[in-house]
C-alpha cells in the first residue's frame, strides 16, 4: 500500500492550525474490526519518531489535545490546532493494514 | 518506563556483515512483537522486519532486505537482533528498534516505543 502525504512541507505561525493529509492507495479500513489501521508519528529533529495517534483517531496517552486525527478508508488528516514551537517536526502517517507496513514520505512542519 | 537501546552500528564495506542488537527493558518483552525500522540520511522511514510475540515465531521482512537480513530475539535476555549480511550502500541508515503494541484487533504493528537508533554506514 502506497501512502502519499500532502503537503511535503508547511510553514505556519504560532497559534495557527496545521492540516496534514494522508492518502492510501487502497483502503486500510478493516470492516470486521470496524477500524482503520493507520497511525501518525511525530519526529522532532535529532530524535526518534514518537507515536501520536493510532487507529486513525485515538490519541496516545500524554499527547496534547491539540493533536487530532480523522478520516477513514483511504483519506486521513492530522490536525494540530494552535501550533506550538515544540511542534516543529516531521509528521508521518503509517498503515498497518497489511504487511509490509508502509509510511508516507513525511510532512515537515515549520 | 520502556527503554530500547540499540547497538552494533558501524562503518562496513559492501558485501560484509553486521549484527545489530536492541536491549529492551521496562515491559514484558515476550508479549510484544518487535520491529526494526530504518531511516536513510535525510530520508523517510522504511519498515525492515518484525518478529512476532507468539510461539509461532513469525518473521516478516521488507522485500529490500529479504534473503540478506535475519531478525531474531532472545526472550530471556530481552534482546532483539538484526543480522545484516551482504550489505549494500543503500542499506546505509539509522536503524531503530520499536516495540509493537500488545496484540489487538489482529495486529502488533503499532510502533508504540522507539529506541534512539544506531547508524550503519556501508561504504568502500
Tell me: pLDDT of B64 over 90.
yes
Q: Which residues pair with A76 in a beta bridge?
A: A22, A71
SS3 label, residue A50: strand
Mean pLDDT of B97-108: 89
What rounded mean pLDDT belongs to chain B? 96
Mean pLDDT of B54-73: 94
Nearest to A31 by CA among B109, B108, B106, B100: B106
What rounded mean pLDDT belongs to chain A? 97
Give the C-alpha separation, A41 to A62, whole Å.
14
Q: What is the pLDDT of residue B118?
A: 98
Give the C-alpha separation, B119 to B40, whole Å.
9
Pairing of strands B32-39, B45-51: antiparallel
pLDDT band at B57 (very low <50, low <70, confident <90, very high): confident
Q: What is the pLDDT of residue B54?
A: 84
Mean pLDDT of B83-88: 98
Give the C-alpha separation, A42 to A31, whole Å.
28
Q: What is the pLDDT of residue B21?
A: 98
User: Do residue B44 and residue A105 have CB atoms under 8 angstroms apart?
Assistant: yes
Q: What is the pLDDT of residue B53?
A: 87
- As given in the structure block, the three cell numbers for residue A60 are 496516545
Tell me: pLDDT of A96 over 90.
yes
- The residues on A that touch B, with CB distances below 8 Å, are 30, 33, 35, 37, 39, 41, 43, 47-51, 54, 60, 92, 94, 96, 99-106
Give the C-alpha separation, B96 to B39, whole Å.
8
CA distances from B43 to A33, A87, A103, A107, B2 (A): 33, 19, 12, 11, 26
Contact yes or no for A59/A9 (Cβ under 8 A): no
Q: What is the pLDDT of residue A55?
A: 97
Tell me: pLDDT of B55 over 90.
no
Mean pLDDT of B89-103: 95
The nearest CA of chain A is from the CA of B113 a distance in Å of: 7
Contact yes or no for B23/B118 (Cβ under 8 A): no
User: Which residue in this structure is represented by grid cell 511535503?
Assistant: A8
User: Do residue A92 and residue B45 have CB atoms under 8 angstroms apart?
Assistant: yes
Pairing of strands B118-122, B11-12: parallel
Tell me: pLDDT of B119 over 90.
yes
Count of CB pairs separated by less than 8 Å, A with B:
55
Mean pLDDT of B104-120: 93
| A20-55: pLDDT as tens digits | 999 999 999 999 999 999 999 999 999 999 999 999
Give the C-alpha separation, A35 to A109, whole Å.
28
SS3 label, residue B116: coil
| A49-82: pLDDT as tens digits | 999 999 999 999 999 999 999 999 999 999 999 9
What phi and psi, each to the nearest 5 degrees, are found at residue B38?
Answer: -125, 160
Tell me: pLDDT of B105 over 90.
no
Tell me: pLDDT of B104 over 90.
no
Q: What is the pLDDT of residue B103?
A: 84
Amino acid at each position: 500500500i502506497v501512502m502519499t502525504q500532502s503537503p511535503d512541507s508547511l510553514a505556519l505561525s504560532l497559534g495557527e492550525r496545521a492540516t496534514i493529509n494522508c492518502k492510501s492507495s487502497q483502503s486500510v479500513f478493516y470492516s470486521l474490526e470496524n477500524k482503520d489501521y493507520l497511525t501518525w508519528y511525530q519526529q522532532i529533529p535529532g530524535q526518534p519518531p514518537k507515536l501520536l495517534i493510532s487507529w486513525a483517531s485515538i490519541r496516545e496517552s500524554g499527547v496534547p489535545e491539540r493533536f487530532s486525527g480523522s478520516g477513514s478508508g483511504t483519506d486521513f488528516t492530522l490536525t494540530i490546532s494552535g501550533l506550538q514551537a515544540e511542534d516543529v517536526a516531521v509528521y508521518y502517517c503509517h498503515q498497518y493494514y497489511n504487511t509490509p507496513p508502509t509510511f508516507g514520505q513525511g510532512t515537515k512542519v515549520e | 518506563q520502556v527503554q530500547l537501546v540499540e547497538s552494533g552500528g558501524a562503518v562496513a564495506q559492501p558485501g560484509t556483515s553486521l549484527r545489530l542488537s536492541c536491549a529492551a527493558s521496562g515491559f514484558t518483552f515476550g508479549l510484544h512483537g518487535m520491529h526494526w525500522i530504518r531511516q536513510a540520511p535525510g530520508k523517510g522511514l522504511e519498515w525492515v522486519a518484525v518478529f512476532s510475540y507468539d510461539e509461532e515465531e513469525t518473521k516478516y521482512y521488507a522485500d529490500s532486505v529479504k534473503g540478506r537480513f535475519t531478525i531474531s530475539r532472545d526472550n530471556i535476555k530481552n534482546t532483539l537482533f538484526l543480522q545484516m549480511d551482504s550489505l549494500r550502500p543503500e542499506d546505509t541508515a539509522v536503524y531503530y528498534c520499536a516495540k509493537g503494541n500488545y496484540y489487538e484487533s489482529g495486529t502488533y504493528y503499532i510502533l508504540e516505543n522507539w529506541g534512539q537508533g544506531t547508524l550503519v554506514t556501508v561504504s568502500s
